[in-house]
Amino acid sequence: MKISLRAGERIYINGAVLRVDRKVSVELVNDVMFLLEGQVMQASDATTAMRQLYFIVQLMLMNPTDIRDAAALYGQHHAALCAVCESREMLDGLAAIDKLVGATRYFEALKRIRALFPVEQAILAGATTETPFEAA
């Protein structure tokens, strides 16, 4: 996989943070877990249940050698979401995310979670009659 980075941009590879000082292309020639800087969510942005789930899975991807605490937190958060969610679309998405996380396919899980952000936002805004989450 070939990735192009701009000067000053960061990439997170298998727990390491790399910042390039000039425009560069990097070819990843083996199987690695990575996130581009634009895909990284800051803790302060984890303001909804799905964004919190994203942040937790992101921690698992960014520190693959020590996921014990993040995995335990993921299990609790995922179970709580499933328990209060009534939206079929959200429940199906959560099931798919759980399979991806169980297979250590964290990047794909993050993509699936991001795809549910608009669904969550619409539900929270009252665009549907379903209520996926109880107030925490």
For residue range 71-105, list pLDDT tens digits in order.
Answer: 999 999 999 999 988 899 999 999 999 999 999 99
How far apart, in whole angstroms, are the C-alpha atoms of residue 31 and residue 60?
A: 16
pTM of structure: 0.80
What is the distance between the alpha carbons of residues 81 and 50, in angstroms, rounded to a whole number? 9
Domain boundaries, the chain: 2-38, 41-124
Residues 86-95 have pLDDT tens digits of: 899 999 999 9
The residue to which tokens 């991807």 are assigned: 61
Return the pLDDT at 14.
78
- The predicted pLDDT at position 18 comes to 85
The predicted-structure confidence for 4-50, as pLDDT tens digits, reads as follows 888 988 888 877 888 889 898 888 887 777 777 778 888 899 999 99
